[in-house]
Amino acid sequence: MNTEQIEILLKEKNLKLTKQRKNIINKLLEIKGHFEIEELAYKLKNKGIKASRATVYRTLSILKELGLINEVIKHGNKTYYEVNLKEHHDHLVCLSCGKIIEFHDEKIEKIQNKVCKKFKFKPYYHRLEIFGICNECQKKLKKRG
Amino acid sequence: MNTEQIEILLKEKNLKLTKQRKNIINKLLEIKGHFEIEELAYKLKNKGIKASRATVYRTLSILKELGLINEVIKHGNKTYYEVNLKEHHDHLVCLSCGKIIEFHDEKIEKIQNKVCKKFKFKPYYHRLEIFGICNECQKKLKKRG
DNA sequence: CTGGCTGCAAAAACTTTGCACCTCA
DNA sequence: TGAGGTGCAAAGTTTTTGCAGCCAG
């Protein structure tokens, strides 16, 4: 997924390619990893890129509709997004340091599909979040006693 | 899990068993299924049960700490809770009618544990949400064209 | 040109908090 | 009696929206 492809997608949907949208998309492709909307808005502002918070929210909403970004983690009252660059994957979230580890397991995906078939449920997308303590934090916590 | 057991747990933690807490707990045990905080606050109010919204939030926060309720679904900007009565399970969420279907698959759980071991990650809890269209809604949508 | 987009500010929705008063143990 | 709990209202967060003006196509 690159800028051009996204631009084509927007055109197909009769969506205009404004400066703001270009800027937001470029920033997203630069970030690559997980991000929060507020963080993104802040980073844009910090780089002198003009895009109001409302526009950021509206643009992300469109990109989500288009399947270019996903809500991958919901923790506390925050939503973390991710650009849909790689193969689908799920996440381990460290409750101590906030680190996010990606993993993909084909077996889990297959079993999920089986479960859906059993219920005649048509799956669109899923989110699997495993919350716990990462290796580094376990070590730190042990040291402290 | 019943009222008595919960009361004992509260006492162990030096938490007082106030009228409000009793009422909230009873209501939760009555609901059994999935609920939102606002919905709970409303139902309590509707039954003439006195418990301010702040108290409902504070009580649910405690019950969550104690592991008596869980955040099982995060969708849109809403959080859905569930009383921890049954064995752990995950959810299918219909994007059309909002229906929630519970499922449990031991294989998925085991693979998750394997994944955690691989990353030396200590899991505390997880949440798997599969969003899609339920069987009934698929039928309805077909009929409409 | 003009429909769609933007910025602003206000509002909505959800959640937390400070404080004075109350109540369970 | 006193630590902890409650209600209220205010404030904090996150997200959405109405509207006037702007701009890409």
| Residues of the domain holding A53 | 1-86
**pLDDT over 80 (residue A1):** no
| Average model confidence (pLDDT) across chain A | 94
Is B93 found in the same domain as B80? no
Measured between beta carbons, the chain B residues lying within 8 angstroms of A135 are 119-121
Domain tally for chain A?
2
Query: Tell me, what CATH number does A54's domain have?
Result: 1.10.10.10
pLDDT of residue B145: 66
Same domain, A125 and A68: no
Shared-domain flag, residues B93 and B82 = no
Contact between residue A133 and residue B127 where contact means Cβ atoms under 8 Å apart:
no
Per-residue pLDDT of chain B (145 residues; tens, 9 = 90+): 688 889 899 998 999 999 999 999 999 999 989 999 999 999 999 888 989 999 999 999 999 999 999 999 999 999 999 999 999 999 999 999 999 999 999 999 999 999 999 999 999 999 999 999 999 999 998 887 6
Number of Cβ pairs closer than 8 Å across A and B? 112
A130·B116 Cβ contact <8 A: yes
Tokens 């193969």 correspond to: A87
Task: Using an 8 Å CB-CB cutoff, list chain B residues near A128.
Answer: 112, 126-129
pLDDT at B78: 95
DSSP string covering B106-122:
HHHHHHHHHHHHHTT-E
Residues A70 and A109 in one domain: no
Q: How far is B104 from chain A (nearest CA, A)?
A: 9
Answer whether B145's CB lies under 8 Å from A130's CB: no
Of the candidates B69, B122, B12, which has an alpha carbon nearest to the alpha carbon of residue A93?
B122
**Same domain as B59, residue B115:** no
Domain final position from A64, A86, A108: A86
Based on the domain organization, do B70 and B5 belong to the same domain? yes
Q: Is the pLDDT of residue A29 over 70?
A: yes
Task: Give the three-state DSSP class for B85.
Answer: coil
Q: Are A115 and B101 in contact (CB under 8 A)?
A: no
Given a cut of 70, whether residue A53 has pLDDT beyond it is yes
Q: How far apart are CA B81 and CA B94, in angstroms?
A: 17
> Which residues face A80 on adjacent strands?
A73
The pLDDT assigned to A143 comes to: 81
Domain limit, last residue, from A63, A86, A109: A86
Q: What six digits make up the tokens of B12?
A: 């162990």
Q: Tell me: is residue A116 an annotated ligand-binding position.
A: no
Whether the per-residue pLDDT at A90 is higher than 70: the answer is: yes
Q: Which residue has the tokens 């929060």?
A: A36
**Two tokens, residue B13:** 């933690």
Q: What is the pTM of this model?
A: 0.94
